Amino acid sequence: MPPFSRAGGILGTGRRAAGLLVLTALLAGPALQAAPPPRSKKRWIAAWVALAAVNALDVHSSAGRREANPLLRDRHGRFHPGKAVLLKSALTGGFFFAQVWTLRARPGRDYYPPFTLANTVAAAGLAGVAARNYSLGSRLPAPASATAHSAR
């Protein structure tokens, strides 16, 4: 069966990721609505949207492939989308929280341009990883189920 049709598979992980993004947006909403945003703030927000989209693209491009990172693979050595979404959400959320905290702690300084650059560089790096993953060709076949092994 293709990985997109399994219940709780990649499609379920995507729904969880979308839910986490919506939750992050709702929690960050008050921080982003204090005053009419300057041009640099709008670019910062756009860089965050790009970073979130590229993270989702990276998860999709890795699905069904062998994974080298032990934090992101399952017991069969394949990429595990659930672990990836959890880890990427935690890292990206921490990165976002640190930026919002810095912006609130020092409201007189314009940190938007360096934060925009950092987010754009991170998004570009992940886009390169996703492009490489897509260029690898076909995905691995699904692992044999545990019941098939016990029948032997």
pLDDT in tens, the chain (152 residues): 444 444 445 445 566 666 666 666 666 655 555 565 678 899 999 999 999 999 999 999 988 888 888 888 888 888 898 899 999 999 999 999 999 999 999 988 889 999 999 999 999 999 999 999 888 876 666 666 544 555 55
8 Å CB contact between 127 and 54 = yes
Q: 3-class SS at 18?
A: helix
- Number of Cβ within 10 Å of residue 72's Cβ equals 20
Burial 135-149 (b: 16+ CB within 10 A, else e): eeeebeeeeeeeeee
Structural domain boundaries of the chain?
Answer: 10-135
Tokens of 35: 């005053």
Q: Which helix (H) or strand (E) holds 38?
A: none
